[in-house]
Amino acid sequence: MTEKSTGLDARIGVDLGTLRLDAALTVAPRRTLAVLGPNGAGKTTLLRALAGLVPLRHGQITLDGTVLDEPASGRYVPPERRDAGYVFQDYLLFPHLSAVDNVAFGPRVRHRTRRGPARAAALEWLARLGLAEFAHLRPAALSGGQAQRVALARALAPGPGMLLLDEPLSALDAGTRLEVRAEIRALLPTLDVPVVMVTHDPVDALTLADEVAVLEGGRVVQRGEPAEVITRPRTPYVARLAGLNLYPGTAANGTVTLGPTAGGDPRTAGAGGGGGLPGAPVHGALRVAPNAPPGAVLVALRPAEVGVHLREPPPETRVNVLTGPVVSVEALGDQVRVLVASTPAVRAEIPAARLGLLRLVRGTPVWLTVHEDALDVYPSDGATM
């Protein structure tokens, strides 16, 4: 009887040059964890450590109850015996082999499967991924999307205990990316293994993953379901991805006094979070809904919820009025993003047609209106700002 899969449980400690990676993660079978983060955060190093390509300095990696790497006990399972399917960012297909022989390589090497049965299993995977008619082609004759799917089939053909995806769609053009993303989205829930995918693309993370872990500076700074992470960011980086203004502060009696959260950085979260001036400290105050949680909080604001006016508007109950000069105007399709050096600094989003009426340029003085209910206030939980 096959033992029940328990998934992946890891605490990954790696020192590599200036990178100090210390990240804990657990992934159950049939679940996909997307690791999202800026360049240099340690995403690929984390994936390579799981695969055994980078040994741990400290911590432990356990897959289905089997310890794969544990420096404290001297346990280390090499990559070729680790039961991990790895799809590299540039695929690394064998150029001298056909697609079917690329996919058959894993079963032949890992399980000593004979050539005939291995190729038959490979053909099944290629057919499953819509590539049966391309089985005879070598990688040079494949499109980017086809090569990506061959690489995925090769990783899955040996029946791995976990699947590791390194920026799986980054090398594809926009149209192919949409197509392949949809195919991977349909495939992942059918795999009875934990899947870890690293990416810098929030669309990949939000559409392919069951959970998202945000890695910054070698640490997991936020983790949760995709909708929760993107709508309630805890760092400027995540807020930037979400296109939100984000401010740390302290809430009391329906007012948030802006400033760093406990243990945080007094420099702005606004600049990093989609609303604010680079290098400027966060300060000021915002009136918020009376039921806002007291204490250290984060305040998120969608740019589209900000009203922009050329004259000071009449006072309204429950509406914050801010003023300052326009710093920049940026076109975003049929919308325009306007950065205003108010207190706090804010990014607003208005229709392009409205820009034609307001005729905003750098230095134009404007007034901003923000209703209390447009401010999402939630406990900071020690988030570093």
Q: Are residues 206 and 240 in the same domain?
A: no
**259 in Cβ contact with 293 (< 8 Å):** no
Q: pTM (2 decimals)?
A: 0.85
Q: In this predicted structure, what is the pLDDT of residue 278?
A: 60
- Average pLDDT of the residues of the chain: 89
pLDDT tens for each residue of 157-195 = 999 999 999 998 887 887 888 888 888 999 999 999 999
Q: Residue 221's domain spans which residues? A: 8-230
% helix, strand, coil for the chain, step of 5: 30, 35, 40
Residue in the block written with tokens 């991924």: 129
Q: Taking a C-beta distance cutoff of 8 angstroms, is the pair 287, 241 a contact?
A: no
For position 301, which CATH number holds?
A: 2.40.50.100
3-state secondary structure of 291: coil
The total number of structural domains in the chain stands at: 2
Whether residues 62 and 97 fall in one domain = yes
My answer on whether 53 and 169 are in the same domain is yes
Of the residues 178, 207, 230, the one at which a domain ends? 230
Phi-psi region of 226 (alpha: psi -120 to 50; beta: other; left: phi over 0): alpha
pLDDT digits (tens, 9 = 90+) for 43-77: 999 999 999 999 999 999 999 999 999 999 999 99
Q: Are both 176 and 295 inside the same structural domain?
A: no
